[in-house]
Amino acid sequence: MATHEDGVSPTQTVVPPGEAIENPRRRDYLTYAAVSVAAVGGGVVVLPLVNSMNPSADVLAQSTTELDVSAIEPGQAIKASFRKQPLFVRNLTPAEIAAADAVPVSSLRDPQTLEQRTKEGKTNWLITLGVCTHLGCVPLGAGEGENRGPFGGYFCPCHGSAYDTAGRIRQGPAPKNLEVPEYAFTSDTVVVVG
């Protein structure tokens, strides 16, 4: 390493007597402070963004729907609302149950038995979302006098999808059966969906 005549290397700084040496780590402190401010600023920006993805209070209030099904006669269906979507609740007759059970599951586009779509011991209660699985239209068949289609279940007039008494797709462009949401009977006449 080369040195000057006075014995000081070229990379060392010579401070005249009486002058203070500036803190050599000052740049490090400034770097740490800048990174800390940037991290806090990033957190302030990201936290509200992430928090905005949480469900709102009105959605949380509608996360479950409780229905009294005691007034629904066999063969009758009602329309309700679950998370701002239509909900179909149908009390199947023994003939509708027999018609659903008579269909070979292997012949279905989305193979499911009626027992898989209902609760054990409550196979007469079919609860599905009232949204066609093709493009999201609301099928007919839950209201009094509405067209139930060729299979006696639901019929979507938008593009002709037809569902049977178990809410299974039988004809038309819909790829899947009507969705069965999570639900539980809290008594013989009260069901909680969600």
Are 46 and 95 in a shared domain?
no
Nearest CA-CA partner of 56 in 98, 84, 95? 84
Are 50 and 63 in a shared domain?
no
Are 140 and 173 in a shared domain?
yes
Where residue 94 falls among pLDDT bands split at 50, 70, 90? Answer: very high
Are 79 and 114 in a shared domain?
yes
Specify whether the CB–CB gap between 156 and 146 falls below 8 A: no
Q: For the ranges 17-31, 65-79, 98-112, which has the lowest average pLDDT?
A: 17-31
Which are the catalytic amino acids?
159
Where residue 81 falls among pLDDT bands split at 50, 70, 90? Answer: confident
Are 182 and 90 in a shared domain?
yes
Q: What is the pLDDT of residue 95?
A: 92
Query: Is the pLDDT confidence value at 155 over 90?
Result: yes
Are 46 and 118 in a shared domain?
no
User: Does residue 118 lie in a domain region?
Assistant: yes
Are 71 and 143 in a shared domain?
yes
Query: Is the pLDDT confidence value at 145 over 70?
Result: yes
Average pLDDT over residues 14-19: 62
175 CA to centre of own chain: 19
Domains: count for the chain: 2
- Which residue in the block uniquely carries the two structure tokens 């066999």? 74
Query: Is the pLDDT confidence value at 1 over 60?
Result: no
Are 109 and 182 in a shared domain?
yes
> What is the CB neighbour count within 10 angstroms for residue 109?
13
User: Does residue 14 lie in a domain region?
Assistant: no
Where residue 128 falls among pLDDT bands split at 50, 70, 90? Answer: very high
- Which residue in the block uniquely carries the two structure tokens 């809290």? 186
Are 26 and 84 in a shared domain?
no
- Name the residue range of residue 154's domain: 59-193
Are 66 and 49 in a shared domain?
no
pTM of the model: 0.66
